[in-house]
């Protein structure tokens, strides 16, 4: 091959090679542009864009391998994101669990807060309510919407305002105030007594709220008051029981002597009027003693079938003397008999009529109505009998408000300054002891009606009528003889004098032994006693309970009357069972004794004369 041919071939080859190099370079430029574009894109993502930095030159682009490096870094970013994501999920799950536990805890606390029977409240430093529990809202009758605008001082009864203000001031200075007792005023006006503790919530050492847990002790207070009343009553009972005997002996002497004096002075005249007043006062003293005795143990009434009409008329008239209140009576002809202790029962009528009188200070009229009454099966009254006599004592007075009606039979409950609070309590107690029931209906402004329900008696006609009692016939023929046994000389003396006044021949002895001796001697001497009047209790000697049995041994038909100042002694209530023919409670008047003798002596009129 010639040289020229070689040169020509080489040139061609060279040209071809140059062409290929150009092609490769062109491809490289495309590739570098691609790499630069992608690198710039990736660096942009890495927030390292060329704007704030230098661009990489081609050599660096190749040697630093940005795509490889960044891809590798991205892998780590993605891994990191994955693990962060996992951590977040775990955290979210944990947070949900904690939130659920917190919610559960909160619900449990709320449930505890709301299921508490105590009244729980939180107030801020101005006394405004922050929170109260359900028991609080229910007891006080306010909704939360109402409470949210109120302060604790809005629900305090006036009586507790001052005390609470001072407690609150001490609480705000973070002092321990110990147990507190306040009276709250519910929305409906009820007074609620609460006791409890108050403590404070502190933030940065400063008091921000006062938390209180109160217990409603209203019922306990009432109970305590009732207990105190009951204790008072018991003390009165004990006291009354203790003094009643002596007191009644004294009153027997007083009343007996007054009765005797009355017989000796002319009916018209100042002395008679004075004596009448003295007798009334003594009778009231007797009633008061009796009233107190009603509360002492065993104050069983001495019940006799009695004309209730007479007792009612007499007691009402007595209660209304000097009053400008008129009393109308309505009694049916066929009124069933009842067994009552006339003394106790007249006290009931007296108290009820006095109340009616006081309820009508300007005067007016009242009505006492008695009727035979059949209680319906579901009467709800605390009494067994259904056939009863119902006595309505109705006034047109001021009436009694509903909240007071509930308490009027409570001992010591009174609305009058001078009232003892015993009057209606005594009525209630007496009627209850008669196995009856006392109820009340009242409309404020219109008047009050008390209903006494007494079981009707199966006995026939009343054994005693007040009208039978007085007989002024002078004694004729052989005088009847009465043996008077009493350890109290003044009682014995007055009884003998009273009996002598109404025509009896008397002999007095100081105890049971002497009585038996006298009784036996009188029989032997052929002038036996027609009646023995015996004191039930003789301190240090034989009393009536024992003596009557001995007398009955001597004379089984002997007529022995028991007399005692202990009118609540069981012997007095059930004297027949102990062998006595009659009973008379001290103190008594001439007419009481005369009535009794008239009733128990065969053919007797109460005067000391034997029938012809």
Q: What is the DSSP string of 198-262?
A: EEEEEETTEEEEEEEEEEE-HHHHHHHHHHHHHHHHHHHHHHHHHHHHHHHHHHHHHHHHHHHHH
Q: List the one residue from 6, 22, 58, 79 that touches other proteins (CB under 8 A).
A: 79
C-beta of 42: minimal distance to other proteins in Å? 9
Q: List the one residue from 28, 80, 105, 175 that touches other proteins (CB under 8 A).
A: 80
Q: List the one residue from 15, 25, 37, 72 that touches other proteins (CB under 8 A).
A: 72
Stretch that binds other proteins, among 11-19, 66-74, 148-156, 380-388 (CB under 8 A): 66-74
Stretch that binds other proteins, among 69-77, 115-123, 462-470, 586-594 (CB under 8 A): 69-77
C-beta of 53: minimal distance to other proteins in Å? 4
Q: Is 83 in the site for other proteins (CB under 8 A)?
A: yes
For 442-453, b/e burial (b = at least 16 CB within 10 A) is: beeeebbbbbbb
| Contacts of 135 by beta carbon, 8 Å cutoff, 6+ apart | 114, 116, 117, 118, 119, 120
Stretch that binds other proteins, among 61-69, 299-307, 486-494, 514-522 (CB under 8 A): 61-69
Q: Is 46 in the site for other proteins (CB under 8 A)?
A: yes
C-beta of 50: minimal distance to other proteins in Å? 7
Q: Is 88 in the site for other proteins (CB under 8 A)?
A: no
Q: What is the DSSP letter of 399?
A: -
Half-sphere exposure of 289 (CA within 13 A, CB side): 25
| Contacts of 223 by beta carbon, 8 Å cutoff, 6+ apart | none
Query: How far apart (Å, rounded) are the C-alpha atoms in residues 108 and 105?
Result: 5
C-beta of 54: minimal distance to other proteins in Å? 5
Query: How far apart (Å, rounded) are the C-alpha atoms in residues 360 and 398?
Result: 7
Q: Is 53 in the site for other proteins (CB under 8 A)?
A: yes
Report phi then psi at 438, rounded to 5. Answer: -115, 125
Which C-beta is closer to other proteins: that of 84 or that of 208? Answer: 84
**Residue in 130, 183, 117 with CA at minimum distance from that of residue 155:** 183
C-beta of 49: minimal distance to other proteins in Å? 8
Query: How far apart (Å, rounded) are the C-alpha atoms in residues 598 and 292?
Result: 30
Q: List the one residue from 14, 16, 28, 73 that touches other proteins (CB under 8 A).
A: 73
Q: List the one residue from 23, 30, 31, 77 that touches other proteins (CB under 8 A).
A: 77
Q: Is 76 in the site for other proteins (CB under 8 A)?
A: yes
Query: How far apart (Å, rounded) are the C-alpha atoms in residues 177 and 156?
Result: 18
Torsion-angle region of 487 (φ positive above 0: left; ψ -120 to 50: alpha; else: beta): alpha
Query: How far apart (Å, rounded) are the C-alpha atoms in residues 217 and 223?
Result: 10
Edge to edge, the sheet with strand 364-374 lists: 325-330, 364-374, 387-394, 447-455, 437-443
Query: How far apart (Å, rounded) are the C-alpha atoms in residues 376 and 392?
Result: 17
C-beta of 60: minimal distance to other proteins in Å? 6
Stretch that binds other proteins, among 56-64, 393-401, 515-523, 550-558 (CB under 8 A): 56-64
What's the burial of 435, exposed, middle or buried (CB within 10 Å: 0-12/13-18/19+)?
A: middle
What's the burial of 54, exposed, middle or buried (CB within 10 Å: 0-12/13-18/19+)?
A: exposed
Q: List the one residue from 21, 24, 48, 93 that touches other proteins (CB under 8 A).
A: 48
Q: Is 32 in the site for other proteins (CB under 8 A)?
A: no
Find the binding residues for other proteins in span 438-497 (CB under 8 A). none
Cα 432–433–439 angle (5° rounding)?
A: 15
Q: Is 50 in the site for other proteins (CB under 8 A)?
A: yes
Q: List the one residue from 7, 17, 26, 64 that touches other proteins (CB under 8 A).
A: 64
Stretch that binds other proteins, among 76-84, 103-111, 205-213, 327-335 (CB under 8 A): 76-84
C-beta of 78: minimal distance to other proteins in Å? 9
Stretch that binds other proteins, among 75-83, 224-232, 403-411, 453-461 (CB under 8 A): 75-83
Query: How far apart (Å, rounded) are the C-alpha atoms in residues 330 and 347?
Result: 20
Q: Is 6 in the site for other proteins (CB under 8 A)?
A: no
Stretch that binds other proteins, among 68-76, 256-264, 274-282, 346-354 (CB under 8 A): 68-76
Query: How far apart (Å, rounded) are the C-alpha atoms in residues 264 and 294?
Result: 35
What's the burial of 134, exposed, middle or buried (CB within 10 Å: 0-12/13-18/19+)?
A: middle
C-beta of 52: minimal distance to other proteins in Å? 6
Question: Residue 302's Cα: distance from chain center in Å?
Answer: 31
Q: Is 59 in the site for other proteins (CB under 8 A)?
A: no
Q: List the one residue from 43, 172, 260, 523 that touches other proteins (CB under 8 A).
A: 43
Q: Is 56 in the site for other proteins (CB under 8 A)?
A: yes
C-beta of 32: minimal distance to other proteins in Å? 16
Q: List the one residue from 32, 36, 65, 358 that touches other proteins (CB under 8 A).
A: 65
Q: How many residues sit close enough to other proteins to count as binding (CB under 8 A)?
A: 24
C-beta of 81: minimal distance to other proteins in Å? 8
Count H helices, E strands: the chain? 18, 17
SS3 169: helix
Q: Is 85 in the site for other proteins (CB under 8 A)?
A: no
Q: Is 35 in the site for other proteins (CB under 8 A)?
A: no
Stretch that binds other proteins, among 50-58, 417-425, 532-540, 604-612 (CB under 8 A): 50-58
Q: List the one residue from 47, 143, 173, 334 that touches other proteins (CB under 8 A).
A: 47
Q: Is 62 in the site for other proteins (CB under 8 A)?
A: no
Name the E strands within 265-414: 304-306, 325-330, 338-340, 364-374, 387-394
C-beta of 92: minimal distance to other proteins in Å? 20
Say what the alpha-carbon torsion angle 369, 372, 375, 381 is, to the nearest 10 degrees: 50
SS3 584: strand
Which C-beta is closer to other proteins: that of 39 or that of 306? Answer: 39
Which C-beta is closer to other proteins: that of 53 or that of 149? Answer: 53
Which C-beta is closer to other proteins: that of 66 or that of 508? Answer: 66
SS3 468: helix
Structure tokens at 509: 């002895």
Stretch that binds other proteins, among 60-68, 101-109, 530-538, 553-561 (CB under 8 A): 60-68
C-beta of 33: minimal distance to other proteins in Å? 17
Question: Which residue ranges make up the site for other proteins (CB under 8 A)?
Answer: 39, 43, 46-48, 50, 52-54, 56, 60, 64-66, 69-70, 72-73, 76-77, 79-80, 83-84
């Amino acid at each position: 091959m010639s040289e020229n041919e070689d040169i020509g071939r080489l040139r061609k080859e060279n040209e071809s090679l140059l062409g290929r190099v150009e092609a490769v370079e062109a491809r490289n430029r495309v590739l570098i542009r691609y790499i630069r574009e992608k690198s710039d894109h990736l660096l942009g993502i890495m927030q390292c864009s060329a704007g704030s930095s230098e661009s990489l030159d081609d050599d660096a682009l190749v040697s630093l391998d940005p795509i490889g490096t960044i891809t590798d870094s991205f892998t780590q970013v993605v891994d990191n994101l994955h693990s962060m994501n996992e951590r977040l999920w775990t955290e979210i799950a944990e947070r949900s669990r904690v939130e659920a536990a917190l919610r559960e805890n909160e619900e449990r606390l709320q449930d505890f807060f709301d299921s508490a029977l105590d009244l729980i409240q939180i107030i801020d430093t101005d006394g405004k309510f922050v929170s109260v529990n359900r028991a609080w809202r229910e007891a006080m009758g306010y909704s939360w919407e109402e409470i949210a605008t109120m302060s604790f001082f809005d629900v305090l009864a006036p009586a507790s305002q001052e005390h609470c203000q001072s407690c609150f001031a001490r609480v705000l200075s973070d002092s321990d105030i110990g147990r507190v007792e306040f009276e709250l005023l519910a929305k409906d006006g009820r007074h609620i007594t609460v006791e409890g503790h108050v403590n404070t919530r502190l933030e940065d050492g400063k008091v921000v709220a006062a938390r209180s847990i109160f217990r409603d002790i209203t019922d306990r207070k009432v109970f305590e008051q009732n207990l105190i009343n009951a204790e008072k009553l018991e003390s009165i009972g004990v006291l009354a029981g203790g003094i009643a005997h002596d007191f009644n002996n004294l009153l027997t002497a007083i009343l007996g002597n007054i009765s005797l004096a009355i017989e000796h002075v002319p009916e018209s005249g100042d002395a008679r009027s004075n004596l009448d007043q003295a007798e009334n006062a003594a009778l009231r003293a007797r009633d008061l003693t009796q009233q107190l005795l009603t509360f002492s143990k065993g104050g069983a009434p001495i019940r006799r079938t009695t004309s209730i009409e007479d007792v009612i008329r007499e007691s009402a008239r007595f209660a209304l003397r000097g009053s400008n209140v008129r009393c109308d009576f309505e009694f049916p002809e066929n009124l069933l008999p009842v067994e009552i202790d006339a003394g106790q029962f007249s006290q009931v009528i007296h108290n009820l009529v006095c109340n009616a009188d006081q309820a009508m200070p300007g005067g007016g009229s009242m009505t006492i109505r008695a009727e035979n009454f059949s209680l319906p099966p579901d009467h709800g009254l605390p009494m067994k009998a259904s056939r009863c006599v119902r006595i309505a004592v109705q006034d047109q007075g001021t009436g009694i408000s509903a909240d007071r009606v509930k308490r009027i039979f409570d001992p010591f409950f009174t609305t009058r300054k001078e009232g003892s609070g015993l009057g209606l309590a005594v009525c209630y107690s007496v009627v209850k002891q008669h196995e009856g029931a006392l109820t009340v209906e009242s409309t404020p402004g219109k008047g009050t009606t008390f209903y006494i329900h007494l079981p009707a008696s199966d006995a026939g006609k009343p054994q005693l009528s007040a009208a039978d009692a007085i007989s002024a016939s002078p004694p004729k023929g052989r005088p009847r003889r009465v043996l008077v046994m009493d350890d109290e000389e003044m009682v014995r003396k007055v009884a003998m004098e009273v009996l002598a006044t109404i025509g009896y021949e008397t002999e007095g002895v100081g105890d049971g032994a002497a009585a038996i001796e006298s009784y036996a001697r009188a029989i032997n001497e052929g002038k036996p006693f027609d009646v023995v009047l015996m004191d039930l209790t003789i301190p240090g000697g034989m009393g009536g309970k024992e003596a009557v049995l001995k007398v009955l041994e001597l004379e089984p038909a002997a007529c022995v009357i028991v007399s005692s100042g202990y009118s609540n002694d069981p012997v007095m209530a059930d004297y027949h069972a102990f062998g006595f023919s009659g009973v008379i409670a001290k103190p008594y008047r001439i007419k009481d004794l005369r009535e009794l003798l008239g009733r128990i002596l065969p053919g007797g009129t109460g005067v000391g004369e034997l029938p012809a």
